[in-house]
Amino acid sequence: MSTVGEYPGTALEQREALRRGDVTARELTVHALERLEATRDLGAFVSTNHDLALHDAAAADRLIAQTPASERHTLPPLLGLPTAHKDLVQVAGFTTTHGSAAVPHLTAKADDPIAADVRLAGAVCIGKTQVPEFGIAGYSENLVAPPARNPFDPARTAGGSSGGTAGAIAAGVIAAAIGSDAGGSIRIPSAACGLVGLKPGRGTVPADRLLGLVDEAGTPRMAVSGPMARTARDAALFFDAVMGAADEPALRAVERASGLPALRVGVSFASPFEPQLPTKFDDDARTAVRRAVATLTAAGHTVEAATFDYGGIYGEAFTTVWTQALTRIEFAKGAEAQLSELAAWFLTRAREASPERVMRAIVDLREFARRARSQWAHYDVVLTPALAHIAPAIGEFWSRGPAGDYELQCDWAPQTSLVNVVGLPAITAPSGADAAGLPRGVQLIGRAGSEIQLLQLAEQLVS
C-alpha cells in the first residue's frame, strides 16, 4: 500500500505563504511533525527534537513579523521551511548515530558546514533521517533503527544513503532537503522515490570546499552535498540557498526552462562495472529512457545513441578506494563486533589492501575519469537510466551476504558512482512509473559547472 502523502504546497509555495502571512513557521513545523509521527512505520527518521524545531520556528516567525511585508523578499531564502538532515551530518542539538552501533551516539554541539549553511538560510530542522551504516550502501538499513521504506511500496527500499530523506519528502513530511552523494546517495533514493535529486560537481558547493577537494589519502573527494525535492524549482531553491546565491540564479533559470537552448544529448546504457558484472536493464528502465528521449526531443534537443568504452579497470579500483574511509574510523576496543556484516566485510577488505594496491587503484580511477570525460565531451549532456530495475525488497540486500549485497547494489545502480569519480554534476528526474506504480527515472550527466542547466532539463522532464 502506498503511503505517499500530500504536503501543504511546494517549498516555494510555503515560502510565499509565510511571507504573505497566510501561514506561520510554527504551523508548518507542527504539520511536519504530525506527518512524521503518522508515517513512523516508513522508518524515514532516526531521531527528532520537537522542542528545538518549534523553538527555531518561533524565531523564524518573529523575524517575519518584524519585517515589513514589502521587505520580506530580503529574508533568508528558506526562512521557516521545515527540513531534515541525514544521520551522517552533525546538527547542533540532535544526536548523530552514523547508522552504526559500533560508534558512540552523541548530541552535536555544533553544525557541520552544510548544516550551518542550511540553518543560515533559515530552514527548520525537525529531525535526522535514516542512512546505511557510515553511508556505505545504496539502501538505508542498519542495526540501530528500522529501515527506510519506500512510500510508494513500503515493502521495498527507499534507496540510500539519503534514503530516509527521500522517504520523508515522498511521504509528505517535508518538501525538500539537502542530501549527500559519494556514489549515488542523492540520485539513487531520489529515483526510487520519484524525486528530483541533484549531485553538484566536485567543489561546487561552498560547504563542501571547506572539507577540501581530496581526502586524507590524497584521493579526489567523491562526496558532495545537493538538493532533493519533489520539483525542480524546489531543488533549485535549496541549491541557491547552499550556494549563498542571494539573487537565486538557479530558481530564475528553472522558471525559464522552456527557453533552454538546444543541446546535444547522448544516450548510454554502458556500465563501468562490465565485464565483471553485466548489467540487465529491465523494460521499465528502458521505457523511462524512451519517455525522456521523447520529451527532450520535443523540447528541441538533439538526442542520439552514444557509444562509450570504459575499459575493465573500474570495478576493483572503485571498491578499493571506496572502502578505505572505514580504515580511518577509530573504534573503541570491542566495538567492531557491533558492525553490520557489510561494514565488517568492507573493513576487512580495506585493511587487506596494501598501500601499493591503494595507490594503484587511485591512479586507475584518475585514468578512468580522464577517459570518461574525454568521451562524454562529445555531448552537452549524457542521458542514462537512473536505476536498472525495480527497488529491491527490504532485507533483500542483507539476505545475499556481504558479497552478494554489494553486487546487488552495483547491479541496481550501475551508472551513478562513476560520476562521483569523474567529479561532474548529475541529476535524476522522474520519468513515469512501472505497472506496480513505483517511480522510474533517468539520470542526466552534465559538463563542469552545468548544475543550473541540469535543473532546467529536470524541469522540462517533470513539468
- How far, in Å, CA of 204 to CA of 424, rounded? 10
Q: How far is CA 112 from CA 261, 314, 412, in A?
A: 38, 32, 31
Per the CB < 8 A criterion, the answer to whether 87 and 128 are in contact is yes
Sequence-ordered strand ranges (E) for 108-169:
124-129, 149-150, 153-157
Q: Which candidate in 161, 162, 180, 431 is catalytic?
A: 161
- Is residue 333 part of the annotated active site? The answer reads no
Secondary structure of residue 147 in the 3-state scheme: coil
Contact 386, 443 (CB under 8 A): yes
* Residue where the block lists cell 530542522: 125
DSSP assignment of 221-282, as one string? Answer: P--EEEEEESSHHHHHHHHHHHHT-TT-HHHHHHHTGGGPPP-EEEE----TTTTTS-----
CA distance 258 to 105: 47
Count CB-CB contacts under 10 A for residue 62: 11
Tell me the β-bridge partners of 267.
Answer: 305, 383
List, in sequence order, every residue forming a beta bridge with 384; answer none if it has no partner: 443
Measure the CA–CA gap between 176 and 191, rounded to whole angstroms: 14
Q: Is 354 a catalytic residue?
A: no
Establish whether 185 is a catalytic residue: yes
Q: Which residue has the cell 547494489?
A: 409
C-alpha cell at 233: 524549482
State which amino acid sits at residue 67: T
CA dihedral 180, 106, 91, 10 (to 10 degrees): 70
The residue from 86, 128, 271, 431 that is catalytic is 86
Do residues 196 and 456 touch, judged by C-beta distance below 8 A?
Answer: no
CB 118 within 8 Å of CB 78? yes
Report CA-CA distances (Å) from 408 to 265, 391, 401, 420: 29, 11, 10, 19
Catalytic residue among 185, 268, 340, 417: 185
Catalytic residues: 86, 161, 185
